[in-house]
Amino acid sequence: MAKGEITLIIGGARSGKSSLAEKLAGAANGAVVYVATAGVHDDEMAERVRQHRLRRPDKWRTVEETHRLPGVLLTLPRGAVVLIDCLTLWMSNLLLDDAKEDYIIDQARGIVQVARNRQLHLIMVSNEVGCGLVPEYELGRVYRDVAGRVNQLLAELSDRVIFVVAGLPLELKTPAGGSGTKGI
């Protein structure tokens, strides 16, 4: 991972995105800051968070932030290795607090701007939510649409984009600006 490189890892639920992101972060040079966006509101989510924590090395620093990601990135050391997991939870947190799409897109753009300015080695995890059924309720449709637009923006702004399906990574965009179909 090059200095200041930004990677977006995207895929469906339980596709292996987080495991791949953790592997890439661990292979990067430097201490890792894990930015967790999940709010814990029930026992099932608490168990998911517990499982994620068990997978991470003890030496990784964990920062819990459900809303203000650009602000958190500003507090991290220049050149740090940062893993944000997961952007779609972050988007749902903002939507549930009545944030509008334009605000969320501006915040997503801000994540990349701060990462570039601070030369962070940023790895972002996001769900691809547009491949399933059309959500029955308006909030679900808004969430799907916002997530799709934010993912498109972040893919455009990232140096590297990896799509994960059934645990298999497919590199869609390489740091050299190309695209390909090779696995990792």
Q: Can you say which residues are annotated as belonging to the binding site for GTP?
A: 11-18, 36-38, 53-56, 64, 85
Amino acid sitting at position 126? S
DSSP state of 167: T
The span from the CA of 68 to the CA of 171, in Å, is 29
Is the Cβ–Cβ distance between 108 and 147 less than 8 Å?
Answer: no
Per the annotation, the verdict on 52 as an active-site residue is yes
Is the Cβ–Cβ distance between 98 and 146 less than 8 Å?
Answer: no
Query: Which residues define the annotated binding site?
Result: 11-18, 36-38, 53-56, 64, 85
The Cα diameter of the chain in Å comes to 45
Is the Cβ–Cβ distance between 85 and 125 less than 8 Å?
Answer: yes
- Active site amino acids: 52
